[in-house]
Amino acid sequence: MSLDNLLNFDFFASNFFQIRSKSGEVKPLTLNRAQLFIHKRLQDQLEKTGKVRAIILKGRQSGCSTLIQARFAHRVITSRGMKAFILTHEAEATANLFEMTRRYIDNLPAGLCPKPDNSAANKLHFKAFDSGYAIGTAGNKGVGRSQTVQLFHGSEVGFWPHAEEHAKGVMQAVPREQNTEIILESTANGIGNYYYNMWQGALSGSSDYQAIFVPWYWQDEYRASIPGFQLTDDEEELLQNHKANGLTAEHLCWRRFKIAEFNGHDIELGTEQFKQEYPMTSIEAFRNPVANAFINAPAVMRARKAKVESDAGLIIGVDPALGDKDKFAIIRRRGRQAYKLERHTNHNTMQIAGVIRKIIEREKPVKVYIDVIGIGAGIVDRLHEMGFTQVEGINSARNASERDKFANKRAEMWAEMRDWLNGESPVSIPDSDVLHGDLCGLGYKWTSNGQLIIERKEELKKRGLPSPDCADALALTFAGGFYDINHGDFEFNETRANTKGKFF
State the Cα–Cα distance between residues 291 and 281, nearest whole angstrom: 19
Q: Which helix (H) or strand (E) holds 182?
A: strand 181-186
Asked if 465 contacts 190 with a C-beta cutoff of 8 angstroms, the reply is: yes
Asked if 444 contacts 292 with a C-beta cutoff of 8 angstroms, the reply is: yes
Supply φ then ψ for residue 354, to 5 degrees: -65, -40
State the Cα–Cα distance between residues 194 and 167, nearest whole angstrom: 9
Instruction: Locate the DSSP E strands across 9-150.
Output: 18-20, 26-28, 52-58, 83-88, 118-119, 123-126, 131-137
What is the pLDDT, as a whole number, of residue 206?
A: 83
pLDDT of the chain, 504 residues: tens digit per residue: 677 888 899 999 999 999 987 777 888 999 999 999 999 999 999 999 999 999 999 888 888 999 999 999 999 999 999 999 999 888 888 888 989 999 999 899 988 888 888 767 788 989 888 999 988 888 666 665 567 899 999 999 988 888 888 887 778 888 999 999 999 999 888 777 889 889 988 987 889 999 999 999 998 899 999 999 999 998 999 999 899 999 999 999 999 999 988 876 677 777 877 887 888 888 778 765 566 789 988 889 899 989 999 999 999 999 998 765 567 899 999 999 999 999 887 788 999 999 999 999 999 999 999 999 989 999 999 999 999 999 999 999 999 999 999 999 999 999 999 999 999 899 999 998 889 888 988 889 898 888 999 998 888 776 656 788 999 999 999 998 765 343 333 333 433 333 333 322
- Would you tell me the crossing angle of helices 376-385 and 349-363 to the nearest 10 degrees? 50
State the Cα–Cα distance between residues 238 and 391, nearest whole angstrom: 53
What is the pLDDT, as a whole number, of residue 341?
A: 96
**3-state SS class at 180:** coil
State the Cα–Cα distance between residues 405 and 141, nearest whole angstrom: 39
State the Cα–Cα distance between residues 472 and 470, nearest whole angstrom: 5
- CB atoms closer than 10 angstroms to residue 100: 20
State the Cα–Cα distance between residues 171 and 132, nearest whole angstrom: 17
CATH architecture label of 3-214: 3-Layer(aba) Sandwich (3.40)
* This prediction's pTM: 0.67
Asked if 388 contacts 379 with a C-beta cutoff of 8 angstroms, the reply is: no
Amino acid in the structure at residue 235: E
Of the candidate CATH numbers 3.40.50.880, 3.40.50.2000, 3.30.420.240, 3.30.1360.80, the domain formed by 297-476 belongs to 3.30.420.240
State the Cα–Cα distance between residues 180 and 202, nearest whole angstrom: 18
Nearest CA to 414 among 364, 476, 354, 370? 476
What is the pLDDT, as a whole number, of residue 371?
A: 95
Give the Cα-Cα-Cα angle 362, 368, 371 (nearest 5 degrees).
135
Supply φ then ψ for residue 133, to 5 degrees: -145, 130
State the Cα–Cα distance between residues 51 and 45, nearest whole angstrom: 7
DSSP assignment of 394-444 equals: E-TTSPPSSTTTBSSHHHHHHHHHHHHHHSSS--B----HHHHHHHHS-BE
DSSP assignment of 192-219 equals: SSHHHHHHHHHHHTSSSPEEEEE-GGG-
Give the Cα-Cα-Cα angle 430, 399, 300 (nearest 5 degrees).
20
Contacts of 274 (CB under 8 A, 6+ apart): 255, 258, 259, 262
Nearest CA to 161 among 191, 185, 141, 190? 141
- Widest CA span in the chain: 89
State the Cα–Cα distance between residues 223 and 239, nearest whole angstrom: 14
Q: What tens digit of pLDDT does each residue of 227-256 get?
A: 999 999 989 999 998 999 999 999 999 999
Burial of 204 (0-12, 13-18, 19+ CB in 10 A): exposed
Handedness of CA 107, 113, 117, 121 (dihedral sign): negative
Asked if 278 contacts 255 with a C-beta cutoff of 8 angstroms, the reply is: yes
What is the pLDDT, as a whole number, of residue 23?
A: 74
- Domain boundaries defined on the chain: 3-214, 233-285, 297-476
Instruction: Locate the DSSP E strands across 89-130.
Output: 118-119, 123-126
Q: Which helix (H) or strand (E) holds 330?
A: strand 328-334
Asked if 87 contacts 186 with a C-beta cutoff of 8 angstroms, the reply is: no
Strands 123-126 and 131-137: antiparallel
